[in-house]
């Protein structure tokens, strides 16, 4: 990767984890990326808020289980006070409560700690660009939960807007099947940037707030 230009400045990242043995090596590894600047390392949610207030910060890489203030509450406060800051969760927990709690609080990405450096840096870049990134295990959990909920709940308002294009319906179908943006691009033989445009358009037309809601909507509409 070439050195970032003035118009391609480094992404300013806060790493949050209560374990120094995790936090410090993770910060050091991320700092090796030429487009990422780790501006702070935090041991709990209050330290995250302090670092963001001192800012500027683009992305917080957030652990969930932390003392004083946990990751979900911290994410909620960031969404309220600093909506321009994206949160990517990095945790050992992939249970429904943790996933739905974090995404509901405003997290833009969710990775488990078996993610590699490339996965993490890709998620940070995507989150900073306004995209959502969920690892495969998390996607599978969301799909299972959405299908269970849809099976138990009478479908209400599942009809999609009439002005959705055929391509936007295809994209929604593939989101419902758990494909990330890259997988959708490969499936439809289009670029990831085009996929993002379709997602933004269909989210706006259908009133879909995030990827988790898109999965549920696709299932309710019978697309997935």
**Measured between alpha carbons, how far is 28 from 21 in angstroms, rounded to an integer?**
11
Say whether pLDDT at 4 is over 60.
Answer: no
Q: Which long-range contacts (CB under 8 A, 24 or more apart) does 115-118 make?
A: 115/90, 117/29, 117/30
Please, are residues 120 and 62 in contact by the beta-carbon 8 Å criterion?
Answer: no
Structural contact between residues 62 and 26, judged by C-beta atoms closer than 8 angstroms: no
Residues 6+ apart with CB under 8 A from 216: 146, 149, 150
Distance of CA 102 to the CA centre of its chain: 10
Going by pLDDT thresholds of 50, 70 and 90, the confidence category of residue 87 is very high
Enumerate the β-bridge partners of residue 14: 40, 60
Average pLDDT value for residue range 109-114: 85
Does 224 have pLDDT greater than 70? no
Tens-digit pLDDT profile for residues 147-180: 665 555 544 445 788 889 999 999 998 888 777 7
Report the pLDDT value the prediction gives residue 59, as an integer from 0 to 100: 96
pLDDT score of 38: 94
Residue 6 is predicted with a pLDDT of 45
What predicted TM-score, i.e. pTM, was given to this entire model? 0.67
220: which strand partners? none
Which pLDDT score is estimated for 102? 86
In degrees and rounded to multiples of 5, residue 124 shows phi and psi of -65, -45
What are the residues whose beta carbons fall under 8 Å from the beta carbon of 91, sequence distance 6 or more? 62, 63, 64, 65, 71, 98, 110, 111, 112, 113
Q: Which residue has the higher pLDDT, 179 or 8?
A: 179
Q: Quick one: what percent of the chain has pLDDT higher than 70?
A: 88
């Amino acid at each position: 990767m070439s050195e970032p230009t003035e118009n391609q400045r480094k992404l300013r990242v806060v790493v949050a984890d209560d374990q120094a043995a995790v936090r410090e090596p993770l910060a050091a590894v991320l700092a090796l990326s030429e487009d990422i600047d780790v501006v702070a390392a935090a041991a709990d949610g209050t330290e995250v808020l302090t670092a963001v207030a001192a800012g500027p910060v683009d992305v917080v890489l957030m652990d969930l289980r932390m003392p004083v203030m946990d990751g979900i509450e911290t994410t909620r406060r960031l969404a309220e006070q600093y909506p321009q800051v994206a949160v990517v969760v990095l945790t050992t927990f992939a249970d429904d409560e943790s996933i739905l709690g974090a995404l509901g609080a405003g997290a833009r990405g969710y990775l488990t700690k078996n993610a590699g450096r490339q996965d993490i840096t890709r998620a940070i870049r995507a989150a900073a660009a306004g995209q959502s990134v969920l690892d495969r295990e998390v996607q599978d959990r969301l799909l299972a939960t959405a299908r269970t909920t849809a099976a138990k709940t009478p479908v209400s308002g599942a009809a999609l807007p009439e002005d959705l294009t055929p391509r936007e319906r295809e994209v929604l179908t593939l989101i419902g099947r758990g494909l990330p943006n890259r997988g959708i691009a490969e499936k439809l033989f289009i670029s990831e940037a085009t996929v993002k445009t379709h997602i933004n358009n269909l989210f706006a037309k259908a009133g879909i707030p995030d990827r988790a809601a898109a999965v549920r909507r696709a299932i309710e509409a019978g697309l997935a």
